[in-house]
Amino acid sequence: MTKRILVVGATGLQSGAVVDALLSGVYGDFGVYAMTSDVKSDDAVDLRRLGARIVPGDLDRPGSYRPYFEQVDGAFLVTDSTDADYDREVRRGYDFVDAAARAGLDHLVFASAMGADFYADVDMLDAKLAIERRIRDRGVPATVVRPGVFVQHFEAERAAVRDGELAWPVSPTTLLPLVDAHDVGAVAAMAFAHPERFVGEDVDLAGDLLTLPEMAEAFSATIQREVDPVHLSREEAGERFGEQTVAYLHWIDGMGGLKFDATHLAELDIQPRSLREALDAGDWKPTPALP
């Protein structure tokens, strides 16, 4: 039987990975309602070609997505911290969760963030914690996925890394939990395929826990040239990474890093990629020289 899943922000990093996993056929038979505010974008056209049903919707307009709850069995929700302040992000999440509760949705997968279960005084984390609590308060059957720092953030630094420098706003001894966004897609698809195992689970997700020098070593081995780790100040990092990401990294840095229980991942049969595996999959290997 085909399960129908509504994927919010389907052209984004995490949601796009969820769409790919659901339509891969690896995890079962799924029909995807790919929700986006721009149904004519190139990314939306690509998703349609993959077999997704493109549907218009906007988290700021709950009326735009409420009708879909009558047509689907589950939903993947991610709230964007980059274009919203705390109040707006929480309102978006609350509205969606409340609509899911009223519709009696079978299963919600919410993309939170590693560290959201702390009292961090970081808007992007505290907003996600508030939404997690709303899900529990409303009794929505749910799986919460808390990814660490996305390997895909390195894409913006590709030129600098290939020139031999990995510059991030964390101290050399800080442990960063790193995750490939594709693993968020895999976990979401597994959760929808096996709700009996995943409903009620909070999943901290990372494939590696590395310091900045260890990350530089991984890049050095992959691109086959020396990459030096460079500690950026918070001020220097602001323009490169954006305020929300820098605030998150600064908080992690102040704690000396984040740890997570990989045992729980093994119990759920989740095997996320290491940084080296993610870099290989992301086409970071050096281009062979022309003969």
Domains and CATH numbers, the chain: 3-147+181-205+261-273 (3.40.50.720)
Q: Which residues of the chain have a pLDDT value below 50?
A: 289-290
Give residue-wise pLDDT tens across range 22-44.
999 999 999 999 999 999 999 99
What's residue 83's pLDDT? Answer: 61
| DSSP secondary structure letter of residue 61 | B
Q: Which of 208, 199, 213 minimizes the C-alpha distance to 180?
A: 208
Strands 176-179 and 208-210: antiparallel
Give residue for tokens 């964007």: 80
Contact 134, 97 (CB under 8 A): yes
Q: Are 271 and 263 in contact (CB under 8 A)?
A: no
Sheet arrangement for strand 149-150: 149-150, 176-179, 208-210
Strands (E) located in the chain: 3-7, 30-36, 53-56, 74-78, 107-111, 142-147, 149-150, 165-168, 176-179, 202-205, 208-210, 228-231
The token pair that represents 179 in the structure block: 């995750």
Mean confidence (pLDDT) of the chain: 93
- Residues 72-88 have pLDDT tens digits of 999 999 998 766 588 99
pTM over cut 0.85: yes
Q: 203 has which bridge partners?
A: 145
